A and B are shown apart, each in its own frame.
Chain A
Amino acid sequence: MRKAKFMMASTGFKASMTFSKTAIVACLLLFTSHLTAGIWDEGEIEAGQALFNANCASCHKVTNEVLAAPGLAGIADRWGSSEELLIQWIQNPQGAAESGDPYIKSLVDRYVPTYGWMTAQAVSADDIKNIMAYVQNPPDVAQVADSGSDCITVDELPIEESSDDSGMWFTMLLVLFLIVAMAAAGVNRSLSNASREREGEALLADLPYSQRAKNWAWDNRVVVSLIGVFFVAYGAVLGYQGLMRVGVVEGYKPDQPIKFIHSVHVCENEVDCKYCHHSAYESKHAGIPSTNVCMNCHKAVKKGRRYGETEIGKIYEAIGFDPESGTYIDGEGKNGYSNPQDSFDGEPIRWNKVHNLPDHVYFSHQQHVVVGGLQCQNCHGDVETYTVGRVANVDDINQLVDKYPGLIELSKPTLTMGWCIECHNKAEIDLASSGYYEEIHGRLKENLRGNEELRKYMEDDKITVKELGGWECAKCHY
């Protein structure tokens, strides 16, 4: 349940698009006693959750656990200074530290050497109120404590072996069977001849196997014909199915230069999809996160559970980071910088693209995620159980319906045009969601009277994407 809630929150996320893209994410801290009216009890939990997930969750937890920054449970009790200082501490940590507040000093001493400074957050005072409301009373934490995490942890994830050798076994068995059958036929003939000899009948001719097979087939021609027809039909069906799979890339899962594990990031550490793939909300591309985004956390998290330092080290190599000193390296190999250096000439990470659309298809993530309000899982499946990215299988996606209410069940293979237009036919447009749709719908309603052509739009009570032109060629091909 925890995951479900978490992902749903992400769909409601719109307001926080203002956050600084390269920012890390961390929010608040600790200590204090009394609750004053204002920052601690005026915010809205739901809005705060969205903000927290977008801005804070990759470093902070709402429990006591330290991820890449202190856990925030009980923050209201720990924070002893003014609300203004808390706001400043979030918006400009270095500035707040200059105030000389003893609690802040203790935090700086304890965490900054390990994790570095928190990035200044582009959140308003009102946003902080909402975040505080959520942090103090996170609705899903309690439930999680009951049910336990249903994440597949790294340790449970199987290490993948790519070879699939069932076909080979099948072939070997078939060959064995043939040998046995031929031997048995030989024995059978010998036995028959022996009995015929005894009965005084003519011996069976010593024919080659092929001739005998022919003879047998002729003797049993009805059965053989039926079997033949069956195989021809079977072959035709197989051929048809095979041809229908041409261009279908379901399950495509190329090896990646870094053995990235989505489940660790998304499920265990609760990093929102859009934290790394933020451009899905701003652009047609979901994008692969730039290395500096990885560094927001991996400046602190230097060792992975499964691959240790090898895989994370590849990020450092690309961006020029010295994990020993925790600083960045410049083009001349000097370290000591707190930010990535342009002069460092690292080899960028060359990922293998998983979802390849042909050049003549224009697909916009922004349209589907921001305007359409689709969840990532609707097309990409349960990514939080993946290791490296892969093309989801439509049947797997359909099984997620209980987990992600609102997900649209489809039948065609993913990443085919049939799949796209099937969804465009099913997906309804929430006309009230945007003044844009309301205006367009208003035009339709005004001109409905006496127009047969237009009535078809209103036969049912819903307006689908198709009815708005989602099946037209130039919506995607230009």
Chain B
Amino acid sequence: MANTKRYWSGLDELHETEAFKTIQEQEFPESKSVDEFLSDDQLESTHTGRRDFLKFMGFSLTAATLAACETPVVKSIPYTNKPEEVTPGVANHYASTYYDGQDYVNVLVKTREGRPIFIKSNTQTGVGRVNARVNASVMSLYDGARVTGPLMDGSETSWGVVDEKVGQAMAASGRKVLLTNTVMSPSLLRAITNSGLEHVQFDSIDYGAFRKASELDFGVNTFPSYRFDQASAVVSIGADFLGTFGDSVYYAENWAKTRNPEQGSMSRLHAFESNMSLTGSNADYRTMVKPSEQGKVATALLKAITGEGQAGELSEGVQAAVAKAAKDLKSAGERGLVVAGANDLNLQRVVNAINAALGCVGTTINFDGTKLLQGDNASVNKLVQDMNKGEVTTLIIADCNPVYHLPNAAAFVEGLSKVKTSVSTSLFGDETASLCSIVAPTHHWLESWGDLQIDDYRIDLVQPTISPLHNTRNWGESLTVWSGNPVDWYTFLRQTHSAGYTAASMYTDADWNKAVHNGFVGLEKGEDVVPTFNSNGVADAVSALNGKTGGSFELALYQKTTMGAGQHAANPMLQETPDPLTKVTWDNYVTMAHADVDAMGLNGFIGQEKPASVVKVTVNGSSMELPVFPMPGQAPGTIGVALGYGRGANGENIGKAAFQTGENGSFLTDEAGNLVPVGQNAFPWVSEQNGLHDYQQLNVEVAATGGTYPLACTQIQNTFMGRDSIVKETDFMSYFNEREVAKGEASWNRVVKLAVHEDVNGDGTINAQDAKPTEAFDLWHEHAVENVGHRWGMTIDLTTCTGCSACVTACHIENNVPVVGKDEVRRHRDMHWMRIDRFFASDYSLERGEAEGEGVIASYRKMEDAAANPQTVHMPMMCQHCNHAPCETVCPVAATTHSNEGLNQMTYNRCIGTRYCANNCPYKVRRFNWFNYPGYKKFANFNPAQDSLMRMVLNPDVTVRSRGVMEKCSMCVQRLQAGKLEAKKAGAPLEDGSVVTACAEACPTHAISFGDLNDTGSKARAISENNRAYHALEEIGVKPNIFYMTKVRNVEPNQA
């Protein structure tokens, strides 16, 4: 029977209106006929006829063609007197040390033609690994907003004038104070002592309670040294030690050392926290608690482990989690470790009591006098009071930004105006420097000599990698000048390390040069003394913690892994690196549990056209309006707000990327004409008591405003919706039981088989059991890459990948990946070659749907929602370099092809921008240049390639792409080519590990291994043959050269 259904193209057609009928009769509706057009009187008066137009066109075309044939004259200017170690085109690496008051790490600085362009870990002689912040910090050297010379009262002056003025102030009577962050340089400390200034130290993020607790309980006023590599059970109470807490650059690598299931054992991590932190997302067991309950978790742990004290009141679920954590800690004994993040003296004392009871002091935690984080806010408070009393005549501020970071900044600002001579040594005219009468800019750390000492084992050296770009001077040298004994800073440094100092290995020139080459010298240190625990006061601390209660909403302020405490606000690369958990760029916001979002009637799904709802948050009477990001894993009844945003709120010139730009690329301004900073400053919400800063507020008001605000989020989908071939995971026992099973056979990593229409198993019938692995299918001719020549491949261990995003920034700096700004990221036009997909687990499954009588579609839909407290997977995703690449077959101009080394090559100069390849890529890793990012005005205010100074950071070995071409991960082909050349020159086979991609090099946890899969001895090959290795989306049979390793969680069976 014929189909009698009618389909309408619209209601007009259905109702057959008159207008519709008229239009229907004309096949080509014309609003104006040709005659009408030609009879237009005005047509005569127009000057450009059709023929003229064609002539112009023809002329322009010819002219443009001819102009293109012209060979432009390019100048080539050699050195006049070439430095011996510089060869144009060859990179040099220099050992140095990065310290910004928060991160302390030994680095190697890569320079090209004298320009630092890349920072990586000094793995040979250093400790700690470069994170995303340190990696991207090379850009700050070239920031056009840097102060270019000494300033007095805002106008340029000479060093002579400044020196005279400050010298007089130093010689005059009165109280003269130097305010710095924690100074870890022996030479700076010596210069400070010589200058006779009163020295006050202040950290942007306060850890005073840790040191106070150490002093009270162990008699050592120090920040604890955590040794996560020694721990087999770790309990973190709100401490994001993988991301931003303490010496995180050191902790992450150490923690990952204990997370290798092939070793036969894994450490276990319990996290109790309110915001979903990087650490929490990597925890085996994560429990949501409110800030007011964190203390109670500690007291409950103490009670469970020692039987002492009184357990805090907690919900049943949390109690069970605490009991489990206590059980693990007890069985770990001295290999257990409890670490709490809150700067709360009582909490830290209880944690000390637990650690002491476990007997882990001396193994996983020690109090051996690390010099990190010595800030003393009691002294800062006293200083502010004295400044307001007018007692301080001279204040020199170095390496810190109190006006931004202090909660009582207003009092500080007022006091500063009463100081007769205020000097800032800041690199930028930041919040503090812009209020000082004199700015005496110091060198950037990449331009400066220096020394640093983190503990008694070693002294790390800082060496200049470029001549100072501006008329600046190391502030240590400035101190020597102002105190009347001017010494060149390098000479001063050498004096510090001359005879009499403990490091004998730096006295002679040869020893010194060796130390500079290595970046450090080791020191002799006496026996470690394990301090004894003094339990006085634990009972008081317990009752204080148990007495904490919170209001309807509690606030936990946190730092983003990408931004830290705000020192990198003007770094466009970091601003555009997505937060590892929320995947939001260019903003801070309120994170709120889905339950609360729904209860308040706010937007629960943020997309390109779905802006976030705005709420007004009031803390102790101070309010801000912030967008709400609905965050799985956020404890209900709590909100989180990131610190480190809202820099330059009064229009301070701290760098262009710190300010918001509109859709046309120009800066946004507020009513007063000031630039609008990216995000908002939450430091005023930090409270202060007894000289300790508290980053948790137990009673805040949150009210919907009805407004909306667009957030630029790079990942909308929260779960992988049951596609188990993307992420494979298992629990440790299941892994352990099948650890010897052949690859592809284990229950947690079974090879994907597709049913075929032939009798594979030979049972006489053809049915669903007749299946072949995807390896068996070849849709088209295979590239002969296996076993011949090189076959570059990478393995990524999802077990140790923490999602820290160091690989992301490393990749983007290495490969000149453009920064596109918030507006374009919001349109999903980010250019990230490497992204980290963050998947939350869903409570729902097909099985559950079936049991509940839901249909398959409905079940899948429910699987899109993450659980309230989900398990998390971080999955780095970049071009998989498929040997059966779907992108290659659809390119009409063969711009993307396969190399016989297994690389999927992208040839920019061939690409015509059809974007077929991106559409055909199952991994969605190809990026299209929608604009000319290095030239178009929309990107002028944040794209590094558009800044005449900051473009010096671009890697000269990698093309800067132009508009209209596709780009993607090249597997750092420039490094591969360079590595092969070295091997050829050496006349020896390429050594495994001598060539490494930027991401693998940057990975602090060694989750990424890179190598030649055809080299039977390579590490990558060995890992790819491990039974945990699998291909993402294996069933589509594209045969990638990237292997993922099944994630193993150290949880009870069936909880993974």
Contacts and interface: CB of A to CB of B under 8 A. Distances in A.
Contact of B81 (A340, A356, A469, A478): A340
A219 interface: no
Interface stretch (A128-136, A179-187, A199-207, A277-285): A277-285
Contacts of B11: none
A350 B981 contact: no
Contact of B76 (A284, A291, A352): A352
Contacts of B664: none
Interface string B717-730: 00000000000000
A474 B903 contact: yes
Contacts of B987: 433-436
A285 B88 contact: yes
Given A367-B981, A454-B788, A346 B80 contact: yes
B985 interface: yes
B787 A352 contact: no
A439 B74 contact: no
B909 A292 contact: no
Contacts of B827: none
Contact of B78 (A351, A440, A473): A351
A57 interface: no
B909 A360 contact: yes
A358 interface: yes
Interface in A313-363: 318-319, 340, 342, 346, 348-353, 356, 358-360, 362
Contact of B959 (A359, A367, A451): A359
A17 B350 CA distance: 65
Interface in A453-478: 453-454, 468-469, 472-475, 477-478
Contacts of B72: 356
Contacts of A440: 789-790, 989
A155 interface: no
Interface string B944-970: 000000000000011110000000001
A163 B81 CA distance: 37
Contacts of A435: 986-989
B80 A290 contact: yes
A344 B483 CA distance: 32
B536 interface: no
Interface stretch (A81-89, A105-113, A442-450): A442-450
Interface string A270-310: 00000000010011110111111100000000000000000
A283 B73 contact: no
Contacts of A20: 84
A364 B77 contact: no
Contact of A472 (B897, B909, B974, B980): B897
A348 B973 CA distance: 35
A287 B78 contact: yes
Nearest to B76: A353
A477 B71 contact: no
B325 to A, nearest CB: 50
Contacts of B910: 473, 477
A478 B981 CA distance: 16
A247 interface: yes
B25 interface: no
Interface string B609-629: 000000000000000000000
Contacts of B977: 362, 364, 475, 478
Interface residues on A, range: 35 or more
B80 A443 contact: no
A247 B986 CA distance: 37
Contact of B89 (A21, A279, A291, A351): A279
B788 A444 contact: yes
Nearest to B959: A360
Contact of A348 (B78, B897, B909): B78
Contacts of A154: none
B788 A443 contact: yes
A284 B784 CA distance: 30
A436 B73 CA distance: 40
A474 B973 contact: yes
A340 B786 CA distance: 56
A148 interface: no
Nearest to A257: B75
Nearest to B972: A478
A285 B112 CA distance: 13
Interface in A409-443: 433-440, 443
Nearest to A478: B973
A439 B980 CA distance: 12
A282 B87 contact: yes
Which has the most chain A C-beta neighbours within 10 Å: B79, B790, B960, B1014? B79
Contacts of B79: 290-292, 348
Interface string B180-212: 000000000000000000000000000000000
A353 B76 CA distance: 5
Given A358-B909, A453-B784, A292 B82 contact: yes
A151 interface: no
A443 B909 contact: no
Contact of A284 (B74, B80, B89): B89
A287 B88 contact: yes
A231 interface: no
Interface in A239-286: 246-247, 249, 252, 254, 279, 282-285
B852 interface: no
B931 interface: no
Contact of B970 (A346, A359, A472, A478): A478
Contacts of A340: 80-81
A478 B959 contact: yes
A436 B87 contact: no
A284 B986 CA distance: 17
Contacts of B900: 469, 472
11 contacts: A20-B84, A279-B90, A282-B87, A282-B90, A352-B74, A356-B71, A362-B977, A371-B985, A436-B983, A436-B984, A469-B899
Given A436-B990, A453-B784, 5 more contacts: A348-B79, A362-B957, A362-B977, A474-B905, A478-B977
Interface of B: 68-69, 71-82, 84, 87-90, 782, 784, 786-790, 895, 897, 899-901, 903, 905-910, 957-960, 970, 973-974, 977, 980-981, 983-990, 1014
In the complex, the 5 A-B pairs of residues with the closest C-beta atoms, listed nearest first: A283-B89, A474-B905, A290-B82, A439-B989, A453-B784
